[in-house]
Amino acid sequence: MYRIATETNGIMAYEKDMWMHWTSEYVSEFTSAYTIYAANVKVSGKGSVDLPDIVSPCSTIYCYYTVSMTIQDHGPIDTFQSAKLTWQNTTENTSGYLDDANNYLLSSKGTLYAITDMNLEPLTYSMKLAYAYSDSREEALQIRVYARE
């Protein structure tokens, strides 16, 4: 199932039953009409990777998006240590991030990170992922950004 979700730009999270009602809100195909960014990245050990740029289709000063990112391609959490997804536009000096500090689902101990306050101007942003895992087994991560309107 996870492989199929990855190949079709979907998203799949492993979660405890008691958290599924919260997690489903951030698997945003259910609540948001448009996927504006989909990246699949394979990682292992510790490091960072530059991801494809994100171009905001926003036609106003700011638009708000939901970001969802898997942190392991299997459950339960075992080798995951940390992850930080950042986006930045150097021309306007605007940026943001998703990590443990602002993840809405941190308490769930599941495999999904999510926030709903990605604010982007109608610009191009570079994307980068820093990560750490306790072993060298490859993890296939899914990163998705959804438009709310």
Per-residue pLDDT at 70:
87
Q: How far is CA 131 from the centre of its chain?
A: 12
How far is CA 95 from each of CA 20, 80, 129, rounded to the nearest angstrom? Answer: 30, 25, 14
Where is 64: in which H helix or E strand?
strand 63-70
How far is CA 149 from each of CA 57, 66, 114, rounded to the nearest angstrom? Answer: 11, 11, 18
CB 18: neighbour CB atoms within 10 A?
8
Distance CA 127, CA 88 (A): 7
Sheet containing 139-147: give its strands across.
Answer: 34-43, 139-147, 63-70, 112-120
Per-residue pLDDT at 140:
93
Per-residue pLDDT at 138:
96
Tell me the domains of the chain and their CATH numbers.
Answer: 2-147 (2.60.120)
Sheet containing 94-98: give its strands across.
Answer: 46-55, 124-133, 80-89, 94-98
Per-residue pLDDT at 30:
52
Per-residue pLDDT at 60:
85
Q: Which two tokens stand for residue 20?
A: 């599924």
Pairing verdict, β 80-89 and 94-98: antiparallel
Distance CA 61, CA 68 (A): 23
* pLDDT tens, per residue, the chain with 149 residues: 777 877 777 776 656 565 555 555 555 555 566 889 999 999 999 999 999 999 999 888 888 888 888 889 888 889 999 999 999 998 889 999 988 777 665 555 666 667 767 889 999 999 999 999 999 999 999 999 988 66
